[in-house]
Amino acid sequence: MSKARKLLTTLLVLATTALAGAGVAQAAAPGYVALGDSYASGVGTRQYTDANCKRSAAAYPSLIAPRIGATLNFQACSGAKTADVLNNQVAALNSTTTYVSIAVGGNDIGFASVIEKCALPFYDCTGDINKALDAARNTLPGSLNAVYTQIHNRAPNAKVAVVGYPRLFNGQECNLLARISSKEQGQLNAGADVLDEVVKGRAAAYGFTFVDIRGPFTGHAVCDKAEWINGLSNPISESYHPNTNGHAALADLVQPALT
C-alpha cells in the first residue's frame, strides 16, 4: 500500500472515530421535570439543597431520576399552589421532556392550615374541614385543568404521573401537643379521600397516570409503628409530611408510572 493510501486510510479511520464520539456526546439523557408542592419537593426529610423551596436530595424525584437515567429539572416548591405551578414551574417543560411528575392541590384548599386548626385544644375544626372540601369539589377542578392543560401543551410527548396525597392518621392520639381527636382524624382522612378523587378525576381526563398512595401508606401513618409521615415536629413545617422512608416508598410507587 502506498504511503498516500495509508495516510488516507488513517485519516478516514480518525474521522469515523471522531464522528462516532460526537454522536455519543450529543446523545442527551431524557429530561424529567418534577412539579408541585411540598409533598413533591421533599419537606419532611429534614435535608434540603434549596432553602427557599425546600427541595431535597431525599425527595422522590431526586431518587427516581438516576434510576431511570434521566436529567432532573426540579421545580417543585414548598407552599406551591396551582397558580404557582403555572407562574413559576411549567416553563421548564418543552417538547423534549420525557417524564413529568406533579403533586399539587392540597395548598389550594388550605389543607395545611386546616390541620393546624384541628391541632388546637378545645377547637372543633369540622367547619374548617367542610370549607376545604367545598373548595376541593367546586374550585380545585378548574385550577387543576389549567395546570394539566399547560403540561399537555408544553410537553405533549411526556409520560405524566400525578401523585396523590396519603391519609395522615390512624385514629390514635399519640402526639400530646397536637390535640387532634380520633373524630377529627377520621374527618381529615375522609377529606384526603375527597381531594384524591378530585385530582384522580382530572388527571384521567388528560390521560395522565394517577398514583394513588393511600393504600401503600396504610399502616405507615402518624402514630403507626413504622411511620412514613411525620407527626407534630420541630420545626412545625416538617409536620404531616412524608419522611425519608416515606419518600423512598414514594419513589417506588411513582417510578413505574413514569416508565
Active site residues: 38, 241
Q: Determine the Cα–Cα distance for residues 112 and 201; give it in Å rounded to an integer.
A: 22
Q: Determine the Cα–Cα distance for residues 90 and 185; give it in Å rounded to an integer.
A: 34
Residue 67 is placed in which grid cell? 434510576
> What does the CA dihedral 44, 194, 106, 150 come to, rounded to 10 degrees?
120
- Reading across the β-sheet that carries 31-36, which strands appear in turn? 71-74, 31-36, 97-103, 159-163, 209-211
Residue of 75, 67, 35, 80 lying closest to 203 (CA atoms): 35
Task: Look up residue 82 and give its amino acid.
Answer: T
Q: Determine the Cα–Cα distance for residues 37 and 82; give it in Å rounded to an integer.
A: 9
Q: Determine the Cα–Cα distance for residues 162 and 169; give it in Å rounded to an integer.
A: 22
Q: DSSP per residue over 10-33, as a string? A: HHHHHHHHHHHHHHHHH-PPPEEE
Q: Determine the Cα–Cα distance for residues 200 and 185; give it in Å rounded to an integer.
A: 22
Cβ neighbours around 87 below 10 Å, total: 11
Q: Which residues contact 194 (CB under 8 A, 6 or more apart)?
A: 133, 136, 137
